[in-house]
Amino acid sequence: MASSKSISEIVQDLWDLLVAYARQETIDPLRNIGRYLAFGVGGMIVITLGVFLLGLSGLRALQTQTGDVFVGFWSWVPYLIVALVFSGLVALAISRIGKGSVGARSTSALPGANR
């Protein structure tokens, strides 16, 4: 037979259930989003710095290793080349942005999902 609980015990159990549910549905997802954003921002900074340094080294190589090709009036061409390469990389990155939920992997990204 069911054990009889007093009203105060029932109210306390209900309150504990409500607090646990609120924590599960609000605090835990916010903590997961924070972790997701921290890794995302860290990765973004490292990748941006690396791409910038590669572009700078490409510019320097175009200026010094091409002999007399880009001297005088043509000295602006290496800057244009590097700017076009960066523009292409930005366009590629923007084209790869897709909708998705935080922390969820889309099934199309999994191997063999398009069968």
CB 103 within 8 A of CB 32: yes
Within 10 angstroms of residue 78's Cβ, the number of other Cβ atoms is 19
- pLDDT for 110 equals 55
pTM for this one? 0.61
- pLDDT for 62 equals 94
pLDDT tens profile 56-101: 999 999 999 998 999 999 999 999 999 999 999 999 999 998 877 6
- What is the C-alpha to C-alpha distance for residues 106 and 102, in angstroms, rounded to an integer? 11
Residue 89 to residues 2, 36, 44, 49, 102, Cα–Cα distance (Å): 67, 24, 14, 14, 24
- What is the C-alpha to C-alpha distance for residues 61 and 58, in angstroms, rounded to an integer? 5
Can you list the positions of beta strands (E) in the chain?
A: none
- pLDDT for 28 equals 83
